[in-house]
Structure 1
Amino acid sequence: MVNYEVTVYTTNCALATTINNVYIKLVGSEGESNRSWLWGFKGSLALFKGDVAHFTVSCRKSLGTLFLIELDKQHFLLFQDSWYPSKVEVRSPEGDTYCFPVHRWITDREVHLFREGKAVIAFEETHPLAKDAREQELIGRKKDYCWEELKEGLPHCIKGKSPLSLPPEVRFSYTKDIEFVWTAATGEIELYVKGLEKRDEPWTDIDAFDRVFRCKMTETSEYVEEQWQEDEFFAYQYLNGVNPIMIRCCKVLPENFPVTNDMVFLHGHGSLTEEIERGNIFLCDYKRLDGVTANTINGKKQYLMAPLVLFHKRQGKLMPIAIQLKQTPADDNPIFFPTDSAYDWMMAKMFVRSADFQEHELNVHLLRTHLLAEVFAVSLLRNVPMVHPLYKLLVPHTRYTLQINILARLALISEKGVFTEFAASGGEAMFTILKRSLSSMTYKSLCIQDDVDERGVRDMPNYYYKDDGLRLWNVILTFVKEVLSYYYKTDDVVVKDSELQDWIQDIFEHGFLSQEQTGIPQKFSTVAELIKFVTMVIFTCSCQHSAVNSGQYDYGAWMPNTPISLQRPPPTTKGTKDHIMMQTLPDISTTVKGMSTLWLLSKESSDFVPLGQYPEQYFTEGFPRKLIKRFQRELLQLSVDIKIRNEPLSLPYTYLDPASFENSVAI
């Protein structure tokens, strides 16, 4: 007889303990053990949360190289509980130690198979049982994770009407669940107590709103309240606010934006034509919003414009110089300038900021981070087994994404969702904008290095999103390159990896609806192509999501800076009366509903996992684990550099500090 020493690690999270009877079978190249009961002196507490339990499995002879274990859990006294083991380690009689990552809930009485931690690509499998286990895992995953069309023309999503329809291993933790519900409930209760949620009349004056705003403030939101009317801050938000990817260098003025040299004053920097030639003129064009039917809120028609905004770069600053609120030039569509009356100029900027809210929430935030992250996650779970290096690399960046998106579909964009009922672009307009956004999306626009060059903003000063984002991209790219090059030595290995090819094909088909003009690859032919795409996936699910999500309450809580909707049409002539602003801004109930939602969407949970931290160990080999340590050191140095850069700034830019945002789209 020979003995195998089995060590079982139970995750230290709420409800991870089991008092059921757990059984194990060891499978190796030379045979397999009998199914053995994991019994210890602790009895039912042997597999308590956070505990490490030791057992012995005896076999008649050595099993050779271990590559698989089978675990099953049978009820005790008719009680079937849930158990969350993190890993199982087995020490063989020859002195070798094998690690089997688990990282999943076991809630039933079925037999579950787990592979030894060394990453293996499909065509490298040699043992028939290993091949079969790999195939059976993917068959089961394809049943658990099914595609569903949310709306024609939009990326497909996970099939499931509620979080409970998801497999347990991709749901929120108990802690995350409780905190999320509590944050949402306290926001709603506060509105109810104040009696604001049913009041559909306009605000009487800005002071009335200020009294509500002061209940929940951040340092940034307070700064926004003080600066929102300033031109420099208006422009600053296009660099470092929640929508930092829209501004682009204007090489030729659009024909539908007839600004001439004599219309703008550039403070001694030459004519508009000359400054365009020098690369100092920038444009934001909200053409995706053109022609959509604005929402009706509390029985009242709302207004949504598709403005064009021109900026001038001077003395290291960006300043707005012209605004046209509708796409088609006309006598009743004046171009506004900073030289107009303060009230006319402020109203024009307010309509722009409301348009930016819609563009940001639907295209930049929902589509380009949440929906794409869901596509990447579902395709990974359907096509790539746990033993694959790509799964090990990417699965931490899918944490909580499926549940947060289901909750968004239920609470935000459903028929009775907050966005549907209270945003100017709610309802059918929302899906029109999303479809337009997907059809115009490109692969280059998802890769920050390509994007800043395509938009002509690489040399823009004080563009902290760009500066931090480029450094993050390079750190992630280096890490991904080193990890994947360890497993993919040649391009031929990439081409032969059928699971990898299935993953990208599923993304192209279900995420980008087989639209070739997006430039999204349909297959991988080289290691370099694979490295760039995986870098983009990690950047999108972590860095980009933080950049466009974390500041929502900071910049949107002071409602005049980012109106969720507007109740009056835009001015058709200059000479706006003072009282018009309060009648134009969203009514009381719309304002406070928007505030409470932004608060919820910006609130991190206590089980937050920062970028580059991997509490669940998927890689077991020494080299990739060494690369992870190096990755973490580089992220730490970047975090230190960002903090030092921020010290003298009146408004620090923190949204791309890797210590402050998650690995995944988890909120």
Structure 2
Amino acid sequence: MGFGPRSEMLHRVTEMFCVKLKRKAIEKEDHGTGTGTGTGSNGNGGGSKKIRGTVKLMKKNVLDMNDMKASLLDRIHELFGRGVSLQLVSAVHSDPSNGCRGKLGKVAYLEKWIRKITSLTAGEAEFGVTFDWDESMGIPGAFIIRNHHHSQFYLKTVTLEDVPGHGTVRFACNSWVYPSHRYKYDRVFFTNQTYLPCQTPAPLRKYREEELVNLRGSGSGELKEWDRVYDYAYYNDLGSPDKGPDHARQVLGGSEDYPYPRRGRTGRKPTKTDPKCESRLPLLSLNIYVPRDERFSHIKFSDFLAYALKSLGQVILPEITSIGNKTFNEFDSFEDVLRLYEGGFPLPSGPRFSKLKDRIPWELFKELVRNDGERFLKFPMPDVIREDKSAWRTDEEFGREMLAGVNPVIISRLQGFPPKSKLDPAQYGNQHSSIRKEHIEMNMNGTTVDEAIRSNRMFILDHHDALMPYLRLINSTATKMYATRTLLLLQDDETLKPLAIELSLPHSQGDHHGAVSKVFTPAENGVEGSVWQLAKAYVAVNDSGYHQLISHWLNTHAVIEPFIIATSRQLSVIHPIYKLLHPHFRDTMNINALARQILINAGGVLEMTVFPGKYAMQMSAVLYKNWVFPEQALPADLIKRGMAIPDSGCPHGLRLLIKDYPYAVDGLEIWSAIETWVNDYCSHYYPHDDLVRGDSELQSWWTEVRNEGHGDKKDEPWWPAMQTRADLIQSCTIIIWVASALHAAVNFGQYPYAGYLPNRPTISRRFMPEAGTLEYEELEKNPDVAFLKTITAQLQTLLGVSLIEILSRHSTDEIYLGQRDDSPDWTSDEEPKQAFQRFTHRLINIENRIMDMNQDKSWKNRVGPVKVPYTLLYPNASDYSKVGGLTGKGIPNSVSI
């Protein structure tokens, strides 16, 4: 679709008048003396040559479909000589009169802006530009761009052809350029040449230094969309204390009790009630400040909005709750749950619902109702019930998901019996496990506990110590849950056999009296079998909440953001480590900002759907105390959990104690590929350790990561010293692993496994029924109803499943591990390019190996009773189809959703 008749007529009428006016304006500025940053002539007496350039950009009207005035006003600006100008900067000669910055060439303008009619769906546009360049100025190392238009545009690349003595020169820009009056400085872009600070040509050094100063900002004031400022703040924007005490939340970060990684600063005003808290935007506003280049692309934002409509159920939740159906908030059977996927949930009827429909925005209502117009919230079929509707309830699948499910990063080897607590006995009394040998040995296939521990066959899923300190507070709400320990035996076929589940509560007379615990063992039939199913559900509730808060949010989203901020503040875009890490930061600040606005905030979706409720983020801050940067490396994590032991004779130098551990098997392949790529890359730019120690930007970056971004951890001794190339390789490998593969492993399996919430309930509403009570009688007579009344309620299920459907979807413009969206312009150095190609090819080989193993039936944990193959660490390096969606596979470069 192009411009309408009125715009086309305006174009034709004005074109003949604007060309002469435009030419005169260009000539006037071209033959002037520059615009305040340097002279327009070089003074060296060299010969002038015309250099043709191609500029690729996306106009604002392409990206904002409803903003027709952007194009019209920009064309009017062109009429009066207010175009888009570029000035090349010499990388060879400095101008002493301009602070020894590189000498500037003559101003040139983008050509034919008025004549080029860009379709609203055309995407990027190309414009020519012609530079007068004196050959004696040498090679251009940068350019200054000034946007004199009304609106911003997204500058992708600039390519210069036939630069004398150098051929083609490329600039990979990938940045928004706002009108010049929005900046107090010139926008400068550098070539795709990579330089350490000490190797930067002298004429470019001040430009390099000043650009970093601009990105750091002043540290004060509210930031606007055109500001390019990366700065830190505490998590002090989750609550709304002005609305009352129930809406207030603890400030996270900056204290010993509640340490936290820093977030990006927005600079909004403090609340009236608590000046330490930042005021919030209106609930439905998604216009939270993040630096403009960190925001979602137009395609990504459209995808996000399309599926985020359902998660706005919190807005209409009170309305739906008031509808008079007394069983509306309960599932009466598992068949009712399945109807969410097979036919949708029937809409309530009556005058009250008609009134509700009138109050819901029509677009939201259409998304909720889906396409059939009769059913409410029809969801895609989750993989865990696609082939078999009941296999999720088996003990084998219960154990398998600890190795190949959505949270395979918690299980550990049991190295002593009974399990011991690390909680302070002075505060919490005796918290050691009450599981005894007589509980489990009759179910251990003829072996004893001592023999199983010696042979590395006993494992534990232990959520006891993490949850017990908060259990009394959590259970003071509508939630009724336990802290759990689950013991498992590794069998000869490499599957895990559950042996016992311990459910613990705080002592009624005070924490210092210790835990009150009960032990449950497997049973298949009768009420004992129903009790065992409930015991497994309580474990799943623990694991779901811990997964969402810690494994997913804290250990990927939150901990990565300080690295993003520090990288933009301290590493120039032409620094090799910036170029290495930048693809792994795409969209993270934006998704984290949206999470603070609608997910993890007071009363947000997370508090409504996950068991810790209003204590969720506070609990995650307490558990951040256990976060250790070097232990985020997969090999170190596996060793810490006792899942592997060092062995130089094994691949990757580790021997897995469960050979069929899909997350670890595939993860070690991915880890090794990343580590090799990072080693090859860093070795090219840092052939010896002195260059690491002497790199001023690198040292400032690492100091800021420790002292500011993760400032509550600054005194920890475990931070790599960043004095050697090995330190650098280790640190960068961990950052890339966490942002890409670790996040993929704990995120994109959410809908396949937890989209069917009985398999991964997020809340428990009743304690285990006691014999002689009505609840126990109900469990005997109708175990399915009792189960459904215990786990997540219907409305929370609808909202929770909507959320994880959004989080589990790949965007159609996703960039996967082994791909770059700025290829091949990201660097001019051939060896790093070749190393990256080797990395991509290795990932393709890993993909093939994963698919082969999933076809091999001897690996029982890779598919399991539910027949869901493990593909969460399938890189997708060879799949450029950009289909997106609920694929259940693919490792995006970054924490992008």
3-state SS of 2:635 partner:
helix
- Call closer, same or farther: CA 1:223–1:58 in 2, change over 3 Å: same
3-state SS of 2:329 partner:
coil
**Amino acid in the other structure paired with 1:580:** A
The percentage of aligned residue pairs carrying the same residue is 24
Query: TM-score normalised to the size of structure 2?
Result: 0.69
3-state SS of 1:301 partner:
coil
**CA–CA distance in 2 between the matches of 1:372 and 1:510?**
12
**Amino acid in the other structure paired with 2:692:** V
- Call closer, same or farther: CA 1:446–1:331 in 2, change over 3 Å: closer
Q: Quick one: which of 524, 540, 550 aligns to 1:363?
A: 550
**CA–CA distance in 2 between the matches of 1:328 and 1:634?**
51
**CA–CA distance in 2 between the matches of 1:197 and 1:130?**
63
Shift of the alpha carbon at 1:218?
3.2
Shift of the alpha carbon at 1:455?
1.6
**CA–CA distance in 2 between the matches of 1:89 and 1:425?**
57
Alpha carbons 2:474, 2:612 under 8 Å: kept: no
Question: Equivalences for 1:101-112 in 2 at 5 Å?
Answer: 101-109=172-180, 110=183, 111-112=186-187
Question: Equivalences for 1:368-517 in 2 at 5 Å?
Answer: 368-427=555-614, 429-457=615-643, 458-515=656-713
**Corresponding residue of 1:22:** 84
Specify which structure has the bigger relative contact order, considering alpha-carbon pairs within 8 angstroms and separated by 6 or more residues. 1
**Corresponding residue of 1:212:** 340
**Amino acid in the other structure paired with 1:585:** I
**CA–CA distance in 2 between the matches of 1:640 and 1:413?**
38
Larger radius of gyration: 2
Which deviates more from structure 2 when the two are superposed, residues 466-475 or residues 456-465?
456-465
Q: Quick one: which of 398, 402, 413 aligns to 1:238?
A: 402
**CA–CA distance in 2 between the matches of 1:96 and 1:567?**
70
Query: TM-score normalised to the size of structure 1?
Result: 0.92
3-state SS of 2:623 partner:
helix
**Corresponding residue of 1:121:** 196
**Corresponding residue of 2:347:** none
**Amino acid in the other structure paired with 1:442:** V
**Corresponding residue of 2:466:** 288
**CA–CA distance in 2 between the matches of 1:236 and 1:85?**
46
Which deviates more from structure 2 when the two are superposed, residues 324-333 or residues 203-212?
324-333
**CA–CA distance in 2 between the matches of 1:331 and 1:665?**
38
- Call closer, same or farther: CA 1:526–1:594 in 2, change over 3 Å: same
- Call closer, same or farther: CA 1:337–1:501 in 2, change over 3 Å: same
Q: Quick one: which of 138, 146, 153 aligns to 2:212?
A: 138
3-state SS of 1:303 partner:
coil
Residues 189-216 of structure 1: CA deviation (Å, up to 9, x unaligned): 89979x9666773322222222124332
Shift of the alpha carbon at 1:171?
0.6
Alpha carbons 1:145, 1:378 under 8 Å: kept: yes
- Call closer, same or farther: CA 1:245–1:185 in 2, change over 3 Å: same
3-state SS of 1:559 partner:
coil
- Call closer, same or farther: CA 1:55–1:240 in 2, change over 3 Å: same
Shift of the alpha carbon at 1:246?
0.5
Shift of the alpha carbon at 1:326?
1.3
Alpha carbons 2:382, 2:756 under 8 Å: kept: no
**Amino acid in the other structure paired with 1:184:** A
Q: Quick one: which of 744, 753, 756 aligns to 1:555?
A: 753
Shift of the alpha carbon at 1:15?
3.0
Alpha carbons 1:198, 1:589 under 8 Å: kept: no
Which deviates more from structure 2 when the two are superposed, residues 475-484 or residues 92-101?
92-101
Alpha carbons 2:396, 2:495 under 8 Å: kept: yes
**Corresponding residue of 1:64:** 138
**Amino acid in the other structure paired with 2:433:** F
Shift of the alpha carbon at 1:416?
2.3
Which deviates more from structure 2 when the two are superposed, residues 506-515 or residues 388-397?
506-515
**CA–CA distance in 2 between the matches of 1:205 and 1:320?**
26
**CA–CA distance in 2 between the matches of 1:451 and 1:432?**
24
Shift of the alpha carbon at 1:119?
1.1
**Amino acid in the other structure paired with 1:301:** A
- Call closer, same or farther: CA 1:621–1:27 in 2, change over 3 Å: same
- Call closer, same or farther: CA 1:284–1:516 in 2, change over 3 Å: farther
Shift of the alpha carbon at 1:432?
3.3
Shift of the alpha carbon at 1:71?
1.2
**Amino acid in the other structure paired with 2:638:** V
3-state SS of 1:102 partner:
strand
Alpha carbons 2:540, 2:762 under 8 Å: kept: no
**CA–CA distance in 1 between the matches of 2:894 and 2:294?**
12
3-state SS of 2:504 partner:
coil
Q: Quick one: which of 473, 480, 499 aligns to 1:321?
A: 499
**Amino acid in the other structure paired with 2:873:** L
**Corresponding residue of 2:764:** 566
Shift of the alpha carbon at 1:520?
4.5
**CA–CA distance in 2 between the matches of 1:198 and 1:512?**
45
Shift of the alpha carbon at 1:295?
7.7
**Amino acid in the other structure paired with 1:261:** K
- Structure 2 gaps of 5+ residues are 1-46, 65-70, 95-102, 218-228, 236-251, 254-258, 267-279, 281-285, 343-377, 421-431, 508-513, 644-655, 857-862, 877-889
Shift of the alpha carbon at 1:230?
0.6
**CA–CA distance in 1 between the matches of 2:307 and 2:801?**
13
**Corresponding residue of 2:522:** 338
Which deviates more from structure 2 when the two are superposed, residues 393-402 or residues 164-173?
164-173
Shift of the alpha carbon at 1:446?
0.6
> Would you say how many aligned residue pairs link Structure 1 and Structure 2?
661
Q: Quick one: which of 833, 838, 849 aligns to 1:625?
A: 833
**1:50 aligned onto 2:121:** no
**Corresponding residue of 2:859:** none
Which deviates more from structure 2 when the two are superposed, residues 401-410 or residues 63-72?
63-72
**CA–CA distance in 2 between the matches of 1:426 and 1:551?**
23
**Corresponding residue of 1:352:** 539
**Corresponding residue of 1:260:** 436
Shift of the alpha carbon at 1:352?
0.4
Alpha-carbon RMSD across the aligned residues, in angstroms, is 2.9
**Corresponding residue of 2:329:** 201
Residues 419-474 of structure 1: CA deviation (Å, up to 9, x unaligned): 122321121x2133212321112234310011112222222132111011000010
- Call closer, same or farther: CA 1:424–1:60 in 2, change over 3 Å: closer
**CA–CA distance in 2 between the matches of 1:552 and 1:510?**
32
Shift of the alpha carbon at 1:514?
4.3
- Call closer, same or farther: CA 1:395–1:645 in 2, change over 3 Å: same
**1:664 aligned onto 2:894:** yes
Q: Quick one: which of 635, 648, 652 aligns to 2:869?
A: 652
Which deviates more from structure 2 when the two are superposed, residues 279-288 or residues 520-529?
520-529
Shift of the alpha carbon at 1:186?
4.8
**CA–CA distance in 2 between the matches of 1:269 and 1:444?**
40
